[in-house]
Each structure stands twice: as C-alpha cells, then as structure tokens.
Amino acid sequence: MTPTNPFPVVIVTGLSGSGKSTALRVFEDLGFFCIDGLPCEMSPKLADLILKFDTKYRGLALGMDLRQFEFVNGWDEALQGFADLGILPQVVYLEAKMGELVRRYATTRRPHPLESRNLGLEQALEMERELLEPVRLAAALVIDTTHYSIHDLRRVIQTKWSAIEEAGKGMRVHIITFGFKYGVPSEADLVFDLRFLPNPYFDENLRPLSGLDKAISDYVLDNPVGEGFMQHLLDFLTYTLPLYADEGRYRITLALGCTGGRHRSVSVAESVLASLKKKGYTATIEHRHMELG
C-alpha cells in the first residue's frame, strides 16, 4: 500500500542518554500526541487506532528504544506494519559522543538498558550503537546532541522538523558547515575539506564578515579555483544523490569544512543549498561553528 496519511507519525529513537525524552517534549509542544516506551510491535496498531478518529493533534510521536528488549528484532516488522496501513513514519534519531554519554549517565546515576555485571557502561553504549545502526540509516533526521543544551536541542528540533515537514517527502539532504579546529560532525555521511579555496581570513577588511555576506562569497567562489570546484561538486552530487535514493536512503548529511567554519565552508554550503533546492531536493542547512570562527 502506498503511504498516503496526512497525519504525520514520528518515531523518536537513538542512543540512551542522547536526549530522546527532551525531543518528545518538543513534539508535544508542537501539538503531537506523544507516547514513550511503546513496544515495537504495538506501534502500528496504535497509530492506526488514532488515525481512525478525528483528532485535534498535529501528529503522533512515538518514543522507542532499547528499553523495550524486542525493539531491534521487531523494527523491520513494525515498519512493514506501518506500510501495510499506508503510513510512512518519519524517524528522528538522536546520538552523542561516547564521552558525553558517559558524563550524562554519571550525572543521572541511572543504569544503561544493556548494562550488566559482565558489561560495563562504555561497552553497553558501543553495543547499543552497533545494534541501532540499521535504525539510524532509516532516519529522516539524525541529530548529534553532544554540544547541545536542552534549550539548544529544542530549538534545533523545532527548526529542522519544520523544514522537513514543509518540504514534503523524498530524499533529504542536510548540509552542515564546520571548522576543522572544532571537530568534524560525527553524523556526516560525506565530508568535504575546503581549505584549498582562497581564504578571506587573511584580508583584514573581509575577516569580520561571514560566508553569508556577498563579499565573502565572491572572494571564495568568483575565481577559477572556486568556479571549477563548485562545478565538480555539483556534478558529483547530481550523480550520486539519486543512487543513494535508489538504495533506499531517506537522508544524506553533507559536512563542508574549512579552518574555522566561518568563511569558505559557509559560502560553498549556501551555494550548494540553492542549487539542490532548484533541483527539487529537500535541503536544509546548519552553520555549526560560524559564530566561533
């Protein structure tokens, strides 16, 4: 059955300690009916039941993770159950770096679902990451919460979800700009190092500006190196993105980096964003380190 439901169904999942409870509260504030801890096999039946009645809610958000021991084994069956009902759930997957997850667990003093006498916290977290990789690949949105406060995470989810919801379904491309001196985004599928492009940082008049300013964009892109690279990059994306879609990928995250994440990466990313939107892709952008560079 072809998914046709206008009532969005969102599955919020990811690594334990990555902020799923906060994410569910965000969807609740957005007008979603939210349920946490639902067994995987029950989720399609519940969604179908809610969809049969007129509802004042904007959508349905389900929190699912390894607290339900059959979650991984039942994942494919649950997706098929949704498909049989004509429902295409959108998966929001949260994760964070190991050190931050350990710190959060030390703060809350709660045990990890996989932790046992023979399995320490770090081992449990690594096992969970491996078990959930198929779920991560099916996600419409992946968010690394390592450096986010609760308020940051709330803002990011609201912004990204609104962009996805407004743009409709299909292959989604999320573009992240970053500075190498601050670290490469862990959620990136493809990483491009732009430190070979002309650098406005060494021009004192341009240094205070960012890649959002036309003067910076012209400096970075309006030259043989910039023009040539952009043409090759867009040709590469035009060729590869349909291939990813054919393999069943819902989402691709591109990370574009320069030294500080303020000038070159931002200029290139904004140009890529505009080009992808013209080609009909659902594309969103996040300038992660622009204010730090």
Please report the pLDDT score of residue 45 as a whole number.
86
* Residue 143 and residue 54 in one domain: yes
Q: Which residues are annotated as a binding site for ATP?
A: 14-21
Last residue of a domain, one of 169, 195, 229: 169
Please report the pLDDT score of residue 67 as a whole number.
73
Does residue 4 lie in a domain region? Answer: no
* Residue 152 and residue 179 in one domain: no
Q: Which residues are annotated as a binding site for GTP?
A: 65-68
* Residue 107 and residue 225 in one domain: no
* Residue 180 and residue 64 in one domain: no
- pLDDT bin (cut points 50, 70, 90) of residue 4 is very low
Query: Which range has the worst mean pLDDT, 231-240, 241-250, 278-287?
Result: 241-250
pLDDT at 175 over 90: yes
Backbone angles phi, psi at 254, to 5 degrees: -100, 130
* Residue 155 and residue 217 in one domain: no
Share of the chain above pLDDT 90, in %: 38
Q: What are the tens digits of pLDDT across the range 81-99?
A: 888 888 888 889 999 999 9
Please report the pLDDT score of residue 137 as a whole number.
84
Does residue 3 lie in a domain region? Answer: no
Give the Cα separation of 60 and 250 in Å (integer): 20
Backbone angles phi, psi at 55, to 5 degrees: -140, 145
Q: What is the mean pLDDT of the chain?
A: 86
Last residue of a domain, one of 114, 144, 169: 169
Give the Cα separation of 132 and 292 in Å (integer): 32
* Residue 113 and residue 20 in one domain: yes
* Residue 21 and residue 145 in one domain: yes
Name the domain count of the chain. Answer: 2
Please report the pLDDT score of residue 264 as a whole number.
96
Give the Cα separation of 173 and 158 in Å (integer): 17
Question: Beta partners for 256?
Answer: 177, 192
pTM equals 0.60
Assign 3-class secondary structure to the chain: CCCCCCCCEEEEEECCCCCHHHHHHHHHHCCEEEEECCCHHHHHHHHHHHHCCCCCCCEEEEECCCCCCCHHHHHHHHHHHHHHCCCCCEEEEEECCHHHHHHHHHHHCCCCCCCECCECHHHHHHHHHHHCHHHHHCCCEEEECCCCCHHHHHHHHHHHHHHHHHHCCCCEEEEEEEECCCCCCCCCCEEEECCCCCCHHHCCCCCCCCCCCHHHHHHHHCCHHHHHHHHHHHHHHHHHHHHHHHCCCCEEEEEEEECCCCCHHHHHHHHHHHHHHHCCCEEEEEECCCCCC
Q: Are 142 and 95 in contact (CB under 8 A)?
A: yes
pLDDT at 108 over 90: no
Give the Cα separation of 112 and 102 in Å (integer): 10
Q: Smallest Cα–Cα separation from 60: which of 88, 83, 80?
A: 88
* CA distances, 167 to each of 14, 101, 122, 283 (Å): 24, 32, 38, 8
Please report the pLDDT score of residue 2 as a whole number.
41
Please report the pLDDT score of residue 156 as a whole number.
82
The boundaries of the domain holding residue 246 are 174-287
Q: What are the tens digits of pLDDT across the range 37-54?
A: 888 888 888 888 887 776
Share of the chain above pLDDT 70, in %: 92
Q: What are the tens digits of pLDDT across the range 69-83?
A: 677 778 888 888 888
Does residue 293 lie in a domain region? Answer: no
Q: Which residues are annotated as a binding site?
A: 14-21, 65-68
Does residue 281 lie in a domain region? Answer: yes
Give the Cα separation of 169 and 66 in Å (integer): 27
Please report the pLDDT score of residue 262 as a whole number.
94
Q: Are 66 and 132 in contact (CB under 8 A)?
A: yes
Of the two residues 51 and 186, the one the predictor is more confident about is: 186
- pLDDT bin (cut points 50, 70, 90) of residue 170 is low
Q: What are the tens digits of pLDDT across the range 6-40?
A: 678 899 999 988 988 889 988 888 888 898 888 88
* Residue 31 and residue 163 in one domain: yes
* Residue 37 and residue 75 in one domain: yes
